Amino acid sequence: MSISAEMVKTLREKTGVGMMECKKALLETEGDLEKAQDYLRKKGLADAAKRGDRTTAEGLIEAYIHMGGQIGVMLELNCETDFVARNETFKTLAKDIAMHIAASNPLYVNKEEVPAELVAKEKEILMAQPDMASKPENVREKIIEGRIEKFYEQICLLNQPFVKDPSLKIADLVNKSISTLGEKIQVKRFTRFSVGEN
């Protein structure tokens, strides 16, 4: 099957991935745009996993101020080289994540940072809810697992749906940039300030 430049351009606009990767994805999926997007997302996740043990000693600090100075965010986003740190795709990612933090107010970067006692307390609260009493033990555990995942979506940045595109989680957004830029990218830390907040 022949892949037109227009098809490649459309896929590139939708995914932000390089032209050659888009063409390869379209060839692999026989020109099916939806399947090509899925193919690139899966490949991005695989590429991100391969880069998991690399060191991220470069990057930038992004500052974002919202609502006329009422909310501010400082974010440290790391990558492997200063070349990528100066790249517009990387800078845009940092801006998008900082803006998302201002809007969604996560408390932790990922679920590994959430204190075990906080998770235990949340499980205790969930277990005490009225709808749980009549459920068998094994069903209760499955329900609690699902609700804890929802809890992580509320408090962990990487688990949250991206405010600009809720079909993507922040982790997906980072992995998409890893696939595009070819380097490990890591949200190191962030601080969110809100006027009048203790």
How does pLDDT run across 169-185, given as a tens digit for each residue?
A: 999 999 889 888 888 89
Q: Are residues 78 and 143 in the same domain?
A: no
Integer Cα distance of 95 and 106 in angstroms: 16
Q: Are residues 66 and 127 in the same domain?
A: no
Q: Are residues 143 and 161 in the same domain?
A: no
Q: Are residues 86 and 174 in the same domain?
A: yes
CA neighbor of 76 nearest in space, from 185, 198, 154: 185
Integer Cα distance of 128 and 149 in angstroms: 18
Q: Are residues 126 and 28 in the same domain?
A: no
Q: What is the pLDDT of residues 16-58, one digit of tens each?
A: 666 777 888 888 888 888 888 888 777 765 455 555 555 667 8
Q: What is the pLDDT of residues 97-154, one digit of tens each?
A: 999 999 999 999 999 999 999 999 998 888 888 887 788 888 888 888 888 999 999 9
Token pair of 160, please?
């949250």
Integer Cα distance of 45 and 41 in angstroms: 6
Q: Are residues 31 and 98 in the same domain?
A: no
Q: Which domain holds residue 141?
A: 115-155
Domain count, the chain: 3
Confidence at residue 47, expressed as pLDDT on a 0 to 100 scale: 55
pLDDT at 197 over 80: no
Q: Are residues 42 and 123 in the same domain?
A: no
CA neighbor of 50 nearest in space, from 189, 186, 183, 181: 183
Q: What is the pLDDT of residues 65-103, one digit of tens each?
A: 987 889 999 999 999 888 899 999 999 999 999 999 999
